[in-house]
Chain A
Amino acid sequence: MKLSLKTKLKIIIDAKLYVFRRPAYWLIFFLSAFFIMGFIVWSLNLDLLKYILFDSPLTIWGKIEFFLNGYGSLLSSFESIQAVAIVIFSLLFGVNVSMLIYSARFLSSADNKEQKTGKKQKIPKKSGAVALGSAVVGGGCIACGTSLLAPIFTTLGITSIGLVRNIGTIFLTLGSILTLYSIYKLSIIIVNIKARS
């Protein structure tokens, strides 16, 4: 049965209302979004981050401050559209992780019931993982010509910097769309679990 967009949105909203009724899931949401955003903005400078965190003579607070300062590169390194795409992806990723944990928590008991009826539901792990990969690649296009795709571009002889910049945003958008898909699939699972309980 094909669902209308309105129905799909209603399913997602209902599922979110179930999940975010509990404060613990807000915590998971904020932490996940915070760390994934940090991972994306530091993706091209992980060596430097490793040095600062483990080998530099800075105090603990100095190290934390250095890490947090990196978030400022959303303003200094990324073009505004790319910065917005990173923030949107990170927030969606946070929602996705919260819903993933929520549904995983109920899945074992739900599985028992589903196995009896022969309809077992699966958590959409692949779309979430591909979404994360896309976003990291997209976020990697910070500097001119620099991205995690640069070696592939070089091999293929692609040198247009405009293409590299657009690909950064395209991958981030792709990541967000895949995460939305994952959220939708999780929403169906959560709404089904709630309907049966």
Chain B
Amino acid sequence: MSNTRKLTIISILFLLTALCAVILFAIQSNNQTTPTTSTSSADSVSNLSPDKLIIGSPGAKVTIVEYADFKCPQCGKFHQTSGQQIRQEYIDSGQANIEFRAYPFIGPDSARALRGAYCANELGAFTDYHDDVFDYMWENYYKNGDFKVEIEDILTEGVLTDIASRAGADKAKFSSCIATEDKNKLIDRDLEQSTKDSVEGTPTFIIGDQKIVGPLPFNNFKTLIDINLR
């Protein structure tokens, strides 16, 4: 056997070993996290109710649970890229819906913006509010690489009220709602659920009983949604 052939065999064996290590690691980590994830997603599909933030048809066959923070740049990036494609292909056609869950952890205004989401939902303007808040952050800051605003208090009550008003919510009712802390219990509920789902950052998605961390390309989402539509 020539040296080159030996070398090729050795290198293939090395790479196969590396691949096995990756797979073993995947199996090991799967054993640690899967049970909570699958329990939660079952709840997500069966318990759709008015106090949940739903984008799309509530009766859609597939529910995409999204844990997000309006201040998170990666969530904004998802909204501008894969999120748009998912909306066009699956949400608008009624095949899937998105259940948006609050995961405030970035800036002092994260919880306020998410409280605003529940207020807008109550006033029938959640979807547009959701899109407009993400667009506001993206167009004014993150698109230009201005990430220092993450920890600044920029989504003030005034800014959020303007956005909600443009989204179709009654300005006075929204303003009054966001000023109180009534909706915080819903955010607490989402956070409790996130613990069960082993969420450690945003955006995190749950489709069926699988978890996606980070804004993966649209085709990865598409594959998973298609599997759940079968």
Residues of A within 8 A of B215 (CB): 73, 76-77, 143
Tell which of B15, B26, B203 touches A143, judged by Cβ atoms closer than 8 Å.
B203
User: Chain A at the B interface: mostly helix, strand, loop or mixed?
Assistant: helix
- State whether B23 touches A50 (Cβ < 8 A): yes
A25–B7 Cα gap in the complex (Å)?
9
**CB-CB contacts below 8 Å: B27-43 with A:** 27, 29-30, 33-34
Given contacts A45-B214, A143-B213, contact A162 B148 (CB under 8 A): yes
| Contacting pair A69 B210 (CB below 8 A) | no
**Hey, which chain B residues are within 8 Å of A159, CB to CB?**
105
| Chain B residues with CB below 8 A from A27, complex form | 8, 11
A52-60, A120-128, A178-186 - the one binding chain B:
A52-60
The dominant DSSP class at the B interface is helix
The stretch among A2-10, A28-36, A83-91, A188-196 that forms the contact with chain B is A28-36
User: Which one of A66, A75, A76 contacts B223 once the chains associate, using CB atoms below 8 Å?
Assistant: A66
Complex contact A144–B7 (CB within 8 A): no
User: Assuming A27-B11, A52-B223, A66-B223, is B211 touching A143 (CB within 8 A)?
Assistant: no
A:125-149 near B, CB below 8 Å: 142-147
How many chain B residues sit at the interface, stated as a range, is 35 or more
In this complex, how many residues of chain A approach chain B with their Cβ under 8 Å: the count is 48
**Which residues in A have some Cβ–Cβ distance to B below 8 Å?**
22, 24-25, 27-28, 31-32, 35, 39, 44-53, 56-58, 62, 65-66, 69-70, 72-73, 75-77, 97, 101, 105, 142-147, 150-151, 159-162, 165
B180-215 Cβ-contact flags toward A at 8 Å (1 or 0): 000000000000000000001111100000111111
Q: Report how many A-B pairs have Cβ atoms within 8 Å.
A: 148
Asked whether B151 is an interface residue with its Cβ less than 8 Å from the other chain, the reply is yes
Q: Known contacts A69-B217, A101-B14, A144-B74; is A47 also within 8 Å of B30 by CB?
A: yes
Is the C-beta of B69 less than 8 angstroms from some C-beta in chain A? yes
B10 adjacent to chain A (CB < 8 Å):
yes
User: Please, how many angstroms separate the alpha-carbon atoms of A24 and B227 in the complex?
Assistant: 39
**Bound Cα distance from A39 to B3, whole angstroms:** 29
